[in-house]
């Protein structure tokens, strides 16, 4: 496999920074939930098992800051707030779904490889060091 472009350290930092946003524990789950359409805060909180109110707030703010989500406040009493994916957020959702499909399609092969590795049945060169 050959690289599609020349390695540039600033590109690696950019990719790492963005992947840390979209690859955290909660962002993917929130983005997937919003893939069904606009959601209110409490709808998201109920849909994303285990997320706290504070963590959902921080996650939504980060997604909004990165241009993946819009926040719309409606002037009602009490105020109604909807969150929705932007075009950029929809493109992320498409990528996330593709990764999810890959994981499902390759799950059995990955589990078999783990079993081989864990049982020691996969002969590894013990003299090879990644640090070398």
For residue range 40-90, list pLDDT tens digits in order.
Answer: 999 999 999 999 999 999 999 999 999 999 999 999 998 899 999 999 999
Q: In the chain, where do the E strands start and end? A: 39-40, 69-74, 80-85
Question: Is the pTM here over 0.85, yes or no?
Answer: no
**In the block, residue with structure tokens 């606009």:** 38
Map out the domains of the chain as residue ranges.
Answer: 9-119
CB 56 within 8 A of CB 48: yes
Assign domain 9-119 one CATH number from 2.60.260.20, 3.30.360.10, 1.10.1660.10, 1.10.10.10.
1.10.10.10
Q: Token pair of 129, please?
A: 């060091």
More confident call, 97 vs 124? 97
pLDDT of 34 strictly over 90: yes
Lowest-pLDDT choice from 10-14, 92-96, 120-124: 120-124
Residue whose C-alpha is closest to residue 28's, from 53, 47, 1, 2: 47
Cα–Cα distance for residue pair 98/108, rounded to 1 Å: 17
């Amino acid at each position: 496999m050959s690289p599609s472009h020349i390695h540039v350290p600033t590109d690696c930092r950019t990719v790492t920074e963005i992947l840390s946003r979209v690859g955290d524990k909660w962002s993917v789950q929130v983005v997937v939930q919003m893939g069904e359409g606009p959601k209110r805060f409490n709808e998201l909180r109920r849909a994303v098992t285990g997320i706290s109110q504070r963590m959902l707030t921080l996650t939504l703010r980060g997604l909004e800051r990165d241009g993946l989500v819009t926040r719309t406040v409606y002037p009602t009493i009490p105020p109604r707030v909807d969150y929705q994916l932007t075009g950029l957020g929809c493109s992320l959702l498409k990528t996330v779904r593709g990764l999810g499909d890959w994981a499902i399609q390759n799950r059995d092969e990955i589990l078999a490889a783990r079993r081989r590795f864990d049982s020691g049945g996969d002969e590894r060169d013990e003299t090879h060091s990644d640090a070398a």
